[in-house]
Amino acid sequence: MAKKLYVGSLSYDTTEEGLKEAFSQAGTVESAAVISDRMSGRSKGFGFVEMSTEEEAQKAIEMFNGQELDGRKIVVNEARPMEERPKRNFERRGRDFGGGSRRSNW
């Protein structure tokens, strides 16, 4: 069964292909993803690698956690499920930010 790893402190220059290539030294990489900002498209400095087995995932953690990749010491550990975040409320003092006058009542 595939095991997902979190990879943090990535260089902004690290690509998905580079991540996959590096982690393939520890075994079969099912997938590699570098998370990027929706607006700018720039890397957020972290990503995920999915190794094909638990043993290969453990080997990857041992090989790469605290090691340098593209000039940065990276953090590698088992990925945890994403936590539920509260919905964001864009209202302020009962008024929304859509339309209306430019004059502020705040």
Distance CA 87, CA 85 (A): 6
Distance CA 73, CA 12 (A): 13
The phi-psi region of residue 44 (left if phi > 0; otherwise alpha if psi is between -120 and 50; otherwise beta) is alpha
Tens digits of residue pLDDT in 1-51 = 889 999 999 999 999 999 999 999 999 999 999 999 999 999 999 999 999
For each of the domains in the chain, give its residue range(s) and CATH number, in order of start: 3-75 (3.30.70.330)
Q: Look up tokens 């339309």; give the residue.
A: 99
Report the predicted TM-score, pTM, of the whole model to 2 decimal places. Answer: 0.79
Q: How many CA atoms lie within 13 A of 74 on its CB side?
A: 29
Tens digits of residue pLDDT in 45-81 = 999 999 999 999 999 999 999 999 999 999 999 999 8
